[in-house]
Structure 1
Amino acid sequence: MAIVLYALTALLYCGLAFHGWATRNPALAAAGGAAIGHQGGQPGRPGGGAAAVLVPGPGNGRAADGQPAWWHAVVLGALASHGWLLHETIFPADSMIFGFAFALSAMLWLGVGIYWIESFFFSLAGLGLIVFPVAMLASLMPLAFPGALILGYAARPLFKLHFVIANVAYGLFTLAAFHAFLMLLAERRLHGFNRPADADAASGQWLGRWLDLLPPLLTLEKLLFRLIAAGFVLLTLTIASGFLFSEQLFARAFRVDHKTVFAILSWAMFGGILIGRHFRGWRGRTALRWVIASFGILLLAYVGSRFVIEVVLHRFS
């Protein structure tokens, strides 16, 4: 059953990624040519009018990102297959097997789910072109790195609550990191519009067409800080529930180890970003770089440490 779910999940993600690349880029070129023809042959920048054509209104039977209903059904099917796969591989029988590859797979699964919900309200086609391929790779990683962390206390209700909240928080921050990365690329391209046309062409028009699919930077920024705020609340609950679980299991609420240190450090960094945004109006490259750095620290809290133990040191707990 697990092999079938692996194949089905990868196939669905691969199909969604291929659909995005195969339909979006040619559509931009065609829409740009149609826009030029509509203007009586006047020259225009490729992709300038394409975004408006690619994002039809709700009256056309499509969601805010211009995707048809069947696309949303396929994404839902991929989420169901990926979720079932995670359940079957992480919770076999009455035990629990986990590792850094499972953590990455769960993070991307939740990231795709949040992206799917967002796609009903915002045009995020450009984001999907990177989310689906990465999710496909993450879903297959447990095949290469199966992990061997068998938890005897996995059935405890407090641990299950801690585990679910932590993974939802990681999913939110994963999508926030994707947002920040794409916003950095879009901002860099925006400030590069004063370059000569031949230099712009030499840099590769595919990147520009991809970034043209994104909503305005202000919209992405609003979404980014909503994701960070929600993730920060869940990360706070994750740390608090972790302390409670540690108190029950080890009779110590605070254990000084790399996972705890990195988790608290990332929590402080994300909190600092929200405080700076609220009181100092942080935005632009500075805020985006802090978001990516904070996400990197969060990855080190569990994924990085498990990677070192499982792969680098070839040791399993």
Structure 2
Amino acid sequence: MPALPFALVAIVCYLAAGLWQSLSLARRVAERPRWVRTAGVIALLCHGVVVGLTLLGARGLHMGLTQSATLIGWVVVALLLLFSLFKPVLNAGVCVFPVAAVTIVGAIGMPSTMTESGISPGLYFHILSSIAAFSFFAIAAVQAVLLAFQHHALKRRQTLGIVQVLPPLTRMEQLLFELIWCGMLLLTVAIVSGFVFVDNLFAQHLAHKTILSMLAWLIFAALLAGHHYLGWRGPKAVRWTLAGVGVLVLAFFGTKFVLEYIFHYNA
């Protein structure tokens, strides 16, 4: 089954949903959360087919840079759409939907030949918990950027535009820390499961990923402690969040980029 038709539908729906959400934030069009979710769900379903067709191979899973990126993009969108039913996080789709579309382009246009075979159930658990943790932090990063815009506008006494659409500042901060707590719990599980289920962790081209993941864990732990005991919030919370997510991006994608495109490691 060719993946291209599903990829095109997913990309169009993602871009349409992201564009509408961005225009609604700019107060150019009315808010249509139900329409945005519908377009997002259609894109998610087609995206899922693309993930299956590009990830599954005869010799194992194609877990290269582009395939991993599109899988993570799919999980991020799925979590965003699910949580938007209970929490006002759909505005994060402004960035999440277009980025998901880009990951599909990468998986279709630049497929990787890196293959992982003989994956144990424990290793599957480690991979899934890692992807789920990163997905929560990715949504938190977009939430942090929106919070920064809101804080900047309110500081300048600008109450029109994006400020009118976003939830109150205190609610935005609460959502940010809820996302970080979810990500922290899953990242803790991912790190522990890595030590338990991955053989020779520091001898399988995973040393840098492990060290960076632990560094990100420390950054988010410091942020949560600072928020609880010292009242960290606003721009400081935004900076720490983006720093932690930046380290995780290096952990997840930096290692794969180096292995595939510098050392040409394909198995």
Q: Identify whether the pair has TM-score above 0.5, normalized to the shorter chain.
A: yes
Distance 1:152 1:127, change over 3 A: closer
Match of 2:111 among 146, 153, 159: 146
Show CA shifts across 1:190-230 (max 9, x none). 11227xxxxx9xxxxxxx62453211121111111111111
Matched residues in 1 for 2:154 and 2:76: separation?
Answer: 27
What is the match of residue 251 of structure 2? 301
- Specify the SS of the correspondent of 1:98: coil
What is the match of residue 5 of structure 1? 6
Distance 1:169 1:290, change over 3 A: same
What is the match of residue 100 of structure 2? 135
What is the match of residue 43 of structure 1? none
Is 2:239 the partner of 1:289? yes
Q: Among the aligned pairs, what percent are the same residue? A: 28
Matched residues in 2 for 1:23 and 1:223: separation?
Answer: 20
What is the match of residue 16 of structure 1? 17
Matched residues in 1 for 2:213 and 2:23: separation?
Answer: 40
What is the match of residue 265 of structure 2? 316
Matched residues in 2 for 1:253 and 1:226: separation?
Answer: 35
Task: Give the drift of 1:290.
Answer: 0.5
Q: Which runs of 5+ in 1 are unaligned?
A: 29-53, 55-65, 195-199, 201-207
What is the match of residue 59 of structure 1? none
Matched residues in 1 for 2:201 and 2:154: separation?
Answer: 54
Show CA shifts across 1:96-129 (max 9, x none). 1112223332232222222212322344453322
Give, as a single letter, the amino acid of the residue that structure 1 aligns with 2:246: G
What is the match of residue 107 of structure 1? 72
What is the match of residue 60 of structure 2? 95
Contact 2:150-2:162 at 8 Å conserved across structures: no
Task: Give the drift of 1:314.
Answer: 6.0
Contact 2:126-2:193 at 8 Å conserved across structures: yes
What is the match of residue 218 of structure 2? 268
Matched residues in 1 for 2:24 and 2:110: separation?
Answer: 34
Contact 2:184-2:220 at 8 Å conserved across structures: yes
What is the match of residue 193 of structure 2? 241
How many residues get paired? Answer: 264
What is the match of residue 220 of structure 1? 172
Contact 2:73-2:103 at 8 Å conserved across structures: yes
Matched residues in 2 for 1:11 and 1:82: separation?
Answer: 11
Contact 1:126-1:213 at 8 Å conserved across structures: no
The TM-score, its normalising length taken from structure 1, stands at: 0.75
Matched residues in 1 for 2:112 and 2:183: separation?
Answer: 26
Distance 1:284 1:108, change over 3 A: same
Give, as a single letter, the amino acid of the residue that structure 1 aligns with 2:105: L
Matched residues in 1 for 2:110 and 2:99: separation?
Answer: 16
Matched residues in 2 for 1:23 and 1:301: separation?
Answer: 34
Q: Which runs of 5+ in 2 are unaligned?
A: none
Give, as a single letter, the amino acid of the residue that structure 1 aligns with 2:65: F
Which has the greater radius of gyration? 1
Distance 1:23 1:177, change over 3 A: closer
Is 2:33 the partner of 1:67? yes
Is 2:70 the partner of 1:121? no
Matched residues in 2 for 1:16 and 1:252: separation?
Answer: 42
- Specify the SS of the correspondent of 1:138: helix
What is the match of residue 41 of structure 2? 76
The TM-score, its normalising length taken from structure 2, stands at: 0.88
Distance 1:212 1:105, change over 3 A: farther
Give, as a single letter, the amino acid of the residue that structure 2 aligns with 1:258: H
What is the match of residue 230 of structure 2? 280
Is 2:127 the partner of 1:171? no
Match of 2:144 among 180, 200, 216: 180
Give, as a single letter, the amino acid of the residue that structure 1 aligns with 2:110: F
What is the match of residue 34 of structure 1? none
- Specify the SS of the correspondent of 1:158: helix
Task: Give the drift of 1:170.
Answer: 0.9
